[in-house]
Amino acid sequence: MTLDSGQVFHWEKAGNGFVGTIGQYAIYAEQDNVLKVRFGATPKPARETRMLPGIAAHYFGLDHPLTEICASFPDDPAMNAARDFCRGLRIIRQPKWECLATFICSSMKQVAHIRQISLALRKRFGEPQKIDNHLVRTFPPAQRIARASQKQLRECALGYRAKNLRATAQLISSGRCHLDAWSALSDAQLREQLCALPGVGPKIANCVMLFAYERLRAFPVDVWIERVLKRYYFPRRKKMTAQRLREFSEGYFGEHGGYAQQYLFHHARLTSRTTAGSRDSSTALRSARNDKGEGCADEQKPR
pLDDT of residue 299: 36
- The predicted pLDDT at position 286 comes to 33
What is the percent of the chain with per-residue pLDDT over 70, rounded to a whole number? 86
At 24, which CATH number? 1.10.340.30
Assigned domain for 174 exists:
yes
Please report the pLDDT score of residue 303 as a whole number: 36
Determine the straight-line distance between the first and last CA of the chain, rounded to whole angstroms: 17
Contacts of 150 (CB under 8 A, 6+ apart): 162, 163, 166
Query: Which SS3 state, helix, strand or coil, does residue 117 take?
Result: helix
Chain centroid, CA 94 distance in Å:
8
Mean pLDDT value across residues 130-158: 95
Mean of the pLDDT values across residues 165-170?
98
Who contacts 285 (Cβ-Cβ below 8 Å, separation ≥6)? 223, 296, 299
Identify the CA nearest to 21 among candidates 36, 32, 6, 37: 37
135-144, 249-258, 286-295: least confident range? 286-295
Output the CA–CA distances (angstroms, integers) from residue 81 to 75, 85, 127, 267, 300, in the order listed: 10, 6, 41, 8, 18
pLDDT of residue 224: 86
134 or 302, greater pLDDT:
134
In tens, the pLDDT along 181-204 reads 999 999 999 999 999 999 999 999
Instruction: Give the number of other CB atoms < 10 A from CB of residue 229.
Output: 22
Per-position b or e across 153-189, b if 16+ CB within 10 A of its CB: beebbbeebbbbbbebbbbbbeeebebeebeeeeeee
User: From residue 155, how far is each of 69, 107, 170 by CA, in Å?
Assistant: 42, 17, 19
- In this structure, is residue 297 part of a structural domain? no
pLDDT value for 280: 40
Within a domain: 292: no
Residue-level pLDDT at 191: 97
Q: What is the mean pLDDT of the chain?
A: 87
3-state secondary structure of 190: helix
Residue 298 covered by a domain: no
Distance CA 49, CA 44 (A): 6
**Structural domain range at position 240:** 12-287
- Residue 302 belongs to a domain: no
3-class secondary structure, 288? coil
Q: By the 8 A CB rule, do 228 and 222 touch?
A: no
Number of structural domains (the chain) is: 1
In angstroms, rounded to a whole number, what is the distance separating the alpha carbons of residues 253 and 146? 38
pLDDT, tens digit (0-9, with 9 covering 90-100), for 30-39: 998 889 998 8
The answer to whether residue 293 is domain-embedded is no
| The pLDDT of residue 85 is above 70 | yes
Stated pTM of the model: 0.87
Inter-residue contact 84 to 1 (CB < 8 Å):
no
Residue 218 lies in a domain: yes
What percentage of the chain reaches a pLDDT higher than 90? 72
Q: Specify if 112 maps to a domain.
A: yes
| Cβ pair 195, 116 in contact under 8 A | no
pLDDT band for position 212 (cuts 50, 70, 90): very high
pLDDT at 301 over 50: no
